[in-house]
Structure 1
């Protein structure tokens, strides 16, 4: 795993490499994958904006142990506005909204607050707004529309 940790970031930017890392996350123990998840955490924003890196971020959220998962979700939430306008980052934000965790969805909507009109006219942001409308419910959407 030490060798894999050193090449995780370059591997994550190719389809076969991403697949290797995903299999490790899925089948190895949390102790074994801790180093990989730390690298994903350190490079979360850059990975989320990459064609295959965005898939790795989503897989990392799915397979991560609790603490790493919370840190990843917090980082994605913090950068939700920027990621929503990105060709690949928007998929990561949609994935987090799709987890259907009310507190996290509310936090994302708060980050997007005041930007709903601009995002809805953006090629990628509009996908995030559509997912928000489907998943968040009226109450949360009103909060998101009214904040900031």
Structure 2
């Protein structure tokens, strides 16, 4: 009988490998499996092709459900035996999906994946597809492993936040974190660095995200750090989103409204006429009225009214209409 060259010498894996046509994927550059035999090398290549194939992704869950504990552990051991090999698998869209299926099945398997993730934590958290493996791990790992992951998140938080894909992954961790202490510590990191992150092309999305959580403590902390910078941010597309979020809660709204009132008339008018700033000014008028802060609302109206004609025909046309309605009602 010809030798069985599938990775686990199991009929189920052999059948799976036969069903999945080799797509041309090869292990990543620099990969050198620890086993030295040609048979072992073939098994690693077959496993790589199995994990990264675009075919039969949905059937992978059914396939691994037939594995016993030792077979699952052997598979996880092969996948994590070399960090470059592991990265090559999870950086692939389909490899990432399949590895996510393997997480949370058993503590021994999770231990192997946890070690592999921690070894390349920053690289994984900032990769488009690999990051899904890390964020899934944060959800399904046991408390001990989860806390080790949390520790690494806190250590790399600012660098992860400034990455195109890392900011998305960090937002997922913030949302899914089930440890109140860790969550508050992470929110504090974001709040303390809110000015830096708000001016970053990717970091600003993290600030926006934490402000959507309706955590009043965090929102106030962000507002304190951004005090004196809200007008500058309001001229920018994503900065204006952040300032609008601050206006939605009274604990931070007052700080923003006061800063708008401290602007000289010309600068406030330029803001009201600008492409993004007009939304901030309009939101400030709306929320001060809705929150019954008529002192702030009236002061804003009084400051804008003399320049109403300059708003007509500009991005601030809606502000001009609101001012006209206010003038006619008096």
Query: What's the TM-score, normalizing by structure 1?
Result: 0.89
Per-residue deviation at 1:94?
1.0
Matched, 1:98 2:181: no
Map residues 37-52 of structure 1 onto 2, 5 A cutoff: 37-52=150-165
Conserved 8 A contact 1:48-1:92: yes
Match of 2:200 in 1: 86
Residue 32 in structure 1 maps to residue 136 in structure 2 = no
Of residues 226, 232, 253, the one that matches 1:141 is 253
Number of equivalences: 145
Work out which of the two has the higher radius of gyration on C-alpha atoms and give 1 or 2.
2
1:63 offset after TM fit, Å? 2.5
Contact 2:246 2:256 in 1 (8 A): no
Q: Distance in 1 between matches of 2:148 and 2:123?
A: 15
The 2-side partners of 1:26 and 1:102 are apart by: 25
Q: Which stretches in structure 1 are left out of the alignment for 5+ residues? A: none
Secondary structure of 2:120's counterpart equals: helix
Q: CA deviation at 1:145?
A: 4.8
The Cα offsets for residues 42-93 of structure 1, whole Å up to 9 and x where unpaired, read as 1111111111111121122223322211111110000001111111111111
Runs of at least 4 residues off by over 3 Å: 144-147
Which residue of structure 2 aligns with residue 118 of structure 1? 232
CA distance in structure 2 between the partners assigned to 1:61 and 1:89 by the alignment: 14
The one of 152, 166, 174 equivalent to 1:53 is: 166
Alpha-carbon distance, 1:8 to partner: 1.5
TM-score computed with the length of structure 2 as normaliser: 0.42
8 Å contact from structure 1 (residues 85, 122) kept in 2: no
Deviation at 1:144? 4.2
Match of residue 63 from structure 1? 176
1:146 CA displacement: 4.2
RMSD: 1.7
Higher helix share: 1
1:136 to partner: Cα distance: 1.9
CA contact (8 A) 2:199 2:239 kept: yes
Residue ranges of structure 2 left out of the alignment (5+ in a row): 1-113, 260-330
The structure whose RCO (Cα within 8 Å, separation 6+) is larger is 1
Residue 128 of structure 1 aligns with which residue?
A: 242
